[in-house]
């Protein structure tokens, strides 16, 4: 087999690729969702709610102009399961994570998180009806022409 190029992940070589997504407008931009190969469960404090695996993850952005090294990296608080670029705003990427969180980033400013279900819903609250309690398996931007684009997510919690 002949390889056209190899993506080098540097410090993320002990991670696995869990998701891949081409940018809908910039066809030279590729995003990879990354998760630890063997996530470990964090120690529980007495009386704290059960936390899922909390190893960090990352999104690595590669350009076909230079596929050897990532052009940009966004670090996440939990391993990444799924990613999807917005079709209306291709600089926005949604991330579904192992701990049940959904995060949204602007790739033009990767250090600035736009939003997170982790911030909106405090997991210590008793009302968790509007947040996932298990890993997010899919995030998808849906274009409803009348009402604009919105984000949907699927989790193992049903």
pLDDT value for 130: 61
Residue 45 lies in a domain: no
DSSP-based three-state secondary structure for 29: strand
Whole-number Å distance between alpha carbons of 108 and 106: 5
Report if residue 74 sits inside a domain: yes
Q: Considering the domain boundaries, does residue 44 fall inside one?
A: no
For the stretch 119-130, pLDDT in tens is 555 545 545 556
8 A C-beta contact, residue 153 and residue 135: no
Q: Which residues of 58-86 are buried (b: 16+ CB within 10 A; e: fewer)?
A: bbbbbeeeebeebeebbebbbbbbbbbbb
Whether residue 46 lies inside any domain: the answer is no
Is there a domain that residue 126 lies in? no
pTM of the model: 0.80
The reply to whether 4 falls in a domain is no
- The parent domain of residue 57 ranges over 11-38+53-121+131-155
Q: What string of DSSP letters covers 15-34? A: EEEEEEEE-SS-TTEEEEEE
> Per residue in 34-81, pLDDT tens?
998 665 555 544 444 445 456 789 999 999 888 888 999 999 989 999
CA 60 to chain centre: 10
Number of domains in the chain: 1
Residue 100 has pLDDT above 70, yes or no: yes
Which CATH number fits the domain that encloses residue 60? 2.130.10.10
pLDDT, tens digit, 9 for 90 and up, residues 2-46: 666 677 778 888 899 999 999 999 999 999 999 986 655 555 444
């Amino acid at each position: 087999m002949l390889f056209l190029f190899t993506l080098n992940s540097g410090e993320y070589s002990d991670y696995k690729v869990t998701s891949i997504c081409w940018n809908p407008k910039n066809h030279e931009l590729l995003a990879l969702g990354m998760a630890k190969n063997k996530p470990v469960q964090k120690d529980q404090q007495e009386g704290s709610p059960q936390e899922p695996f909390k190893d960090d993850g990352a999104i690595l952005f590669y350009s076909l102009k230079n596929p050897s090294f990532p052009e940009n990296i966004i670090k996440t608080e939990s391993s990444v399961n799924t990613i999807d670029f917005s079709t209306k705003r291709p600089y926005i990427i949604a991330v579904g994570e192992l701990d049940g969180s959904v995060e949204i980033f602007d790739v033009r400013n990767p250090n600035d998180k736009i939003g997170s279900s982790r911030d909106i819903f405090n997991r210590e609250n008793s009302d968790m009806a509007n947040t996932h309690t298990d890993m997010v398996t899919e995030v998808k931007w849906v274009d409803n022409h009348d009402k604009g684009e919105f984000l949907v997510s699927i989790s193992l919690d049903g």
